[in-house]
């Protein structure tokens, strides 16, 4: 059954586009002037992007090792490229779906002359900047808490950014115990896939960590047969430090290969971050 497509006009010229699982908040500017009509056009385009992904779900729900890389659809190809770049065999291309759609909408607007674009797809954010533009992005250390703990400053000097966060209590299932793993990359597609992998890497065995098979939590999941975390009780600080260290090792490996630019990981009030975040938080 087709999803209902709705648009909402927000304050400041932004537009919210909703269709099934997708909820985009689209903002674009020329200089300091918000471009509401362009945001409306981009919202209409986003519905088409989601439909394209939906038509290929049977393929995109397979583990990345079993998906052809030369798919005809450019969105599907980008999703596959992102999970292959991250290099986690447990991921399917769906690990990059939110970021990939966000990128497509952001590129649509940038190609039409917008000098500043921010597309927020449920917390996965695609940013496009021109000239001396910059953005400030709120950072949370707990995805289940709507309050921001820090602010990350991006730009100028780079025209394309992607920010994504994964963790226990977020929209997607996680195999780790991180309350948040936030990734910055050159695209939201890469950031989305990498955030999933880094959050997954934070797992530690403990009596306070409860896991179940993914299909028991979500019958429609694309990672059937794998265990996911459903609850984390009070763990000792040492276990939290180990979890952060494991996730940061994975993040540093991705930074070293040029897949991502930086990462911040939080577990039970303990955090770790790469130099990228240390240099840009609360600037």
**Whether residue 62 has pLDDT greater than 90:** no
Judged against a pLDDT cut of 70, whether residue 71 lies above it is answered with: yes
DSSP H helices, the chain, are 36-55, 57-60, 74-86, 97-110, 188-200, 214-217, 237-256, 275-280
pLDDT tens column, 91-115: 999 999 999 999 999 999 999 999 9
- Structure confidence at residue 230 (pLDDT): 96
Place of tokens 């940061």: 248
How far apart are alpha carbons 82 and 11 in whole angstroms? 33
What would the mean pLDDT of 167-180 be, rounded to a whole number?
Answer: 93
pLDDT for position 166: 97
Q: Is the pLDDT of residue 58 over 80?
A: yes
Whole-number Å distance between alpha carbons of 98 and 24: 9
pLDDT for 153 beyond 70: yes
- Choose from 136-150, 152-166, 189-203 the range with maximum mean pLDDT: 189-203
Q: Please, what is the Cα angle at 77 between 19 and 52, to 5 degrees?
A: 30
Residue 51's domain comprises 5-280
Residue 257 pLDDT > 90, yes or no? yes
Mean pLDDT for all residues in the chain: 94
pLDDT at residue 66 in the model: 64
Asked whether the beta carbons of 25 and 36 are under 8 A apart, the reply is no
CA atoms of 153 and 137, how far apart (whole Å): 6
Query: Which CATH number is 190's domain given?
Result: 3.10.520.10
pLDDT tops 80 at residue 90: yes
Among 28-37, 69-78, 136-145, 224-233, whose mean pLDDT is lowest? Answer: 69-78
| DSSP collapsed to 3 states, 183-200 | EEECCHHHHHHHHHHHHH
For residue 24, pLDDT beyond 50: yes
Q: Which two tokens stand for residue 27?
A: 């903002």
Domains of the chain: total = 1
Per-residue model confidence as pLDDT tens digits over 264-279: 999 988 999 999 999 9
pLDDT surpasses 50 at 1? no
The two counts, helices (H) then strands (E), for the chain are: 8, 14
Share of the chain above pLDDT 90, in %: 84
Tell me whether the omega of the peptide bond preceding residue 156 falls within 30 degrees of 0, making it cis.
Answer: yes
Q: Among 130-134, 216-220, 246-250, whose mean pLDDT is lowest?
A: 130-134
């Amino acid at each position: 059954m087709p999803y209902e497509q709705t648009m909402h006009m927000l304050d400041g010229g932004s537009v919210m586009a909703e269709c099934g699982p997708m909820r985009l908040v689209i903002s674009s500017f020329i200089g300091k002037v918000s471009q509401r009509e362009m945001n409306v056009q981009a919202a209409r385009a986003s519905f088409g992007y989601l439909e394209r992904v939906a038509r290929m779900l049977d393929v995109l729900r397979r583990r990345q090792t079993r998906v052809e890389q030369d798919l005809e659809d450019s969105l599907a190809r980008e999703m596959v490229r992102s999970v292959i770049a991250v290099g986690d065999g447990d991921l399917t291309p769906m690990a990059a779906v939110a970021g990939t759609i966000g990128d497509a909408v952001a590129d649509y607007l940038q190609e039409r002359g917008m000098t500043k674009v921010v597309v927020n797809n449920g917390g996965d954010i695609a940013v496009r900047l021109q000239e001396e533009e910059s953005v400030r992005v709120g950072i949370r250390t707990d995805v289940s808490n709507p309050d921001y703990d820090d602010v990350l400053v991006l730009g100028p000097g780079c025209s394309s950014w992607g920010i994504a966060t994964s963790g226990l209590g977020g929209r997607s299932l996680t195999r780790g115990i991180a309350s948040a793993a936030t990734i910055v990359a050159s695209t939201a597609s890469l950031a989305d896939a990498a955030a999933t992998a880094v959050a997954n890497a934070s797992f530690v065995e403990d009596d306070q960590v409860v896991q179940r098979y993914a299909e028991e939590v979500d019958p429609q999941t694309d990672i059937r047969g794998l265990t996911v975390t459903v609850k984390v009780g009070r763990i000792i600080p040492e276990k939290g430090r180990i979890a952060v260290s494991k996730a940061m090792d994975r993040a540093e490996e991705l930074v070293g290969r040029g897949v991502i630019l930086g990462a911040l990981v939080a577990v039970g009030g303990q955090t770790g971050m790469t130099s990228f975040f240390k240099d840009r938080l609360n600037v």
